[in-house]
Amino acid sequence: MTTDLVIDVRNVTKRFGGLLAVNDCSLSVRRGSITGLIGPNGAGKSTLFNMVAGNIVPDSGQVIFDGADVTGMKPYQLFRIGMLRTFQIAHEFSQMTALENLMMVPGDQPGEHLLDTWFRPGLVKSRETAVRKKALDVVDFLKLGHVRNELAGNLSGGQKKLLELGRTMMVDAKVVLLDEVAAGVNKSLLNDLASNIERMNRELGYTFFVIEHDMDLIGRLCDPVIVMAQGEKIAEGPMAEIRANPQIVEAYFGSPAEVVS
């Protein structure tokens, strides 16, 4: 069943010992949106994000993905059904080229099976050719052609983030979870990264759920923006409304200047 909500978090709660990290929190991500999640340190946003991504199991409540209850599913299971995540620190295969990193992403390739390599070499070669073509298309889309044969470990922080974004394009992702995409990226490459996220959303229909401390980036990319504090969702709307809310600015950002810094 297709629903307008690709992610629907329903009344989730998570405790770590005596610490109530997320308290009966509900929020949603609409298909085709770039939805941001912000809040001060200790707000519970990382814990909630990790529950959506399958890294943490909620104590109660549900995580619904594309109409199905996926509460407690592991990240690799979510990957198979179209939920992909990038990380604050890029997780590249450092001794493989950028192109090879992309080609590693699609699962269940015939070349992974010994019998196929022996008895169905034509199928293996055909599939590898198709995967390579898709990887080259992704490289062209992200303008990474000049480093496609460079070892991924030698790429800059921003290029590694672009490569992670490219890996999400190698499969049919229904939603991409972006975790602190601006971390460790210089302003020039950050602009390229943001432009590519916008293009993926606009031209290819990707849905993004973004957790980020860079308010300028959130303001550029995201609508709506969800604000969490003390384990609960306290506001949702366009960034202009969030910035203009004196109560949110004073209570959770300290001063208006910090919101736009």
Would residue 163 count as lying in a domain? no
pLDDT band of residue 170 (cuts 50, 70, 90) is confident
- Do both 213 and 235 map to the same domain? yes
- Give pLDDT, residue 253: 56
- Tens of pLDDT along 201-212? 999 899 999 998
CATH assignment of the domain containing 55? 3.40.50.300
Got the DSSP string for 142-185?
HT-GGGTTSBGGGS-HHHHHHHHHHHHTTTT-SEEEEESTTTT-
- Do both 16 and 88 map to the same domain? yes
In this structure, of 112-116, 150-154, 192-196, the range with the lowest mean pLDDT score is: 112-116
pLDDT higher than threshold 50 for residue 257: no
- Do both 113 and 25 map to the same domain? no
- Do both 144 and 128 map to the same domain? yes
- Tens of pLDDT along 70-127? 999 999 999 889 999 887 656 788 899 999 999 887 656 545 555 555 555 665 566 6
- Tens of pLDDT along 203-243? 989 999 999 888 899 999 999 999 998 899 999 999 999 88
- Give pLDDT, residue 237: 94
Would residue 125 count as lying in a domain? yes
Residue 85: closest CA among 177, 191, 211, 166: 177
Would residue 203 count as lying in a domain? yes
Would residue 84 count as lying in a domain? yes
Could you tell me the residue range of the domain that residue 105 belongs to?
93-154
- Do both 184 and 85 map to the same domain? yes
- Do both 252 and 194 map to the same domain? yes
Would residue 167 count as lying in a domain? no
Would residue 147 count as lying in a domain? yes
Amino acid at 33: S
The model's pTM is 0.83
Would residue 166 count as lying in a domain? no
CA distance 218 to 36: 6
- Give pLDDT, residue 46: 93
DSSP 8-class letter at 3: -
Contact 253, 259 (CB under 8 A): yes
